[in-house]
């Protein structure tokens, strides 16, 4: 059976709807299988054609999530690169991914474990607990003033930008410090463990054109 999806936003791009056909597990060539996934703004992973996407239907096995997300990268193939801009290859299996915003969604701040390559706090992402973490840099947080979404650096192989899950973003936003333009402009500082750090807002350079328009409109 062929599935039809309609895509209105991938990596923050709000484009016109367009139809795309695929079959889960299709074999475009011998011994190659292709599967299609979707990541929502909470960082939950689903089969793309799952009709009802919620906590019940998302993938929750941490070993699988670790395996899947550690192989995640930008889709550098010509196949489906417009509609599924990310890829998690596994041998001769191709896992194509699209998302509501960014594929990496940070959900919790954790203290580092022995397996982390840092001595400071880390951000856990996409349901992986302490198996999927990225060093936390408070000075590199970036908030878009109109949408209120908060972003943080992520691995370069997925574009360098990750979304902060809304529940964590609400907690962090209480400690943002704003300049003379107030909350109509991006924050300029962040209070972290009793000390105010100046925000670099260096992620602006990695934002989509649509998001840059939002920044310029402030």
Instruction: State whether 188 and 122 are in the same domain.
Output: yes
Residue 4, pLDDT above cutoff 50: no
Q: What is the distance between the alpha carbons of residues 25 and 22, in angstroms, rounded to a whole number?
A: 9
Grade residue 26 by pLDDT with cuts at 50, 70 and 90.
very high
Q: What is the distance between the alpha carbons of residues 136 and 122, in angstroms, rounded to a whole number?
A: 5
Number of domains into which the chain is organized: 2
- Residue 131: burial class (beta carbons within 10 Å; 0-12, 13-18, 19+): middle
Look at residue 180 in the predicted model and tell me its pLDDT: 86
pLDDT 10s digits, 173-205? 999 999 988 888 899 999 999 999 999 999 999
Last residue of a domain, one of 77, 99, 121: 99
Q: Is the pTM of this model over 0.85?
A: yes
Look at residue 215 in the predicted model and tell me its pLDDT: 67
What number is the average pLDDT over the span 58-86?
96
Q: Which domain holds residue 88?
A: 3-99
Instruction: State whether 95 and 126 are in the same domain.
Output: no
Ramachandran bin of 148, using left for φ above 0, alpha for ψ from -120 to 50, beta for the remaining angles: left
Look at residue 6 in the predicted model and tell me its pLDDT: 34
Last residue of a domain, one of 57, 72, 99: 99
Q: What is the full DSSP assignment across 10-24?
A: ETTEE----EEEE-T
Instruction: State whether 138 and 208 are in the same domain.
Output: yes
Residue 2, pLDDT above cutoff 90: no
Instruction: State whether 81 and 154 are in the same domain.
Output: no
Instruction: State whether 113 and 211 are in the same domain.
Output: yes
Residue 1, pLDDT above cutoff 50: no
Instruction: State whether 48 and 112 are in the same domain.
Output: no
146/108: higher pLDDT: 108
pLDDT 10s digits, 86-131? 999 999 999 999 999 999 999 999 998 776 677 789 999 999 999 9
Look at residue 5 in the predicted model and tell me its pLDDT: 37
- Answer yes or no: are the C-beta atoms of 198 and 139 closer than 8 Å: yes
Residue 43, pLDDT above cutoff 60: yes
User: If DSSP codes are grouped into helix, strand and coil, which group holds residue 131?
Assistant: helix
Instruction: State whether 174 and 78 are in the same domain.
Output: no
- Residue 88: burial class (beta carbons within 10 Å; 0-12, 13-18, 19+): buried
Last residue of a domain, one of 64, 99, 134: 99
């Amino acid at each position: 059976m062929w599935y039809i999806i309609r895509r209105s936003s991938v990596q923050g791009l709000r484009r016109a709807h367009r139809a795309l056909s695929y079959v889960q597990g299709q074999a475009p060539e011998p011994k190659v299988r292709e599967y299609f996934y979707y990541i929502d703004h909470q960082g939950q992973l689903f089969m793309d054609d799952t009709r009802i996407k919620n906590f019940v239907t998302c993938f929750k096995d941490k070993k699988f999530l670790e395996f899947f997300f550690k192989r995640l990268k930008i889709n550098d193939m010509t196949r489906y690169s417009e509609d599924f801009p990310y890829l998690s290859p596994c041998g001769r299996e191709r896992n194509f991914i699209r998302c509501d915003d960014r594929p990496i969604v940070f959900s919790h701040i954790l203290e580092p474990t022995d397996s982390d390559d840092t001595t400071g706090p880390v951000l856990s992402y996409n349901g992986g607990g302490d198996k999927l973490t990225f060093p936390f840099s408070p000075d590199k947080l970036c908030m878009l003033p109109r949408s209120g979404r908060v972003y943080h650096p992520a691995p370069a192989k997925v574009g360098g930008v990750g979304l902060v899950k809304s529940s964590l973003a609400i907690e962090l936003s209480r400690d943002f410090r704003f300049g003379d333009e107030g909350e109509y402009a991006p924050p300029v500082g962040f209070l972290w463990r009793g000390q105010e750090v100046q925000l670099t807002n260096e992620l602006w350079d990695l934002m989509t054109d649509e998001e840059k328009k939002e920044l310029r409109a402030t």
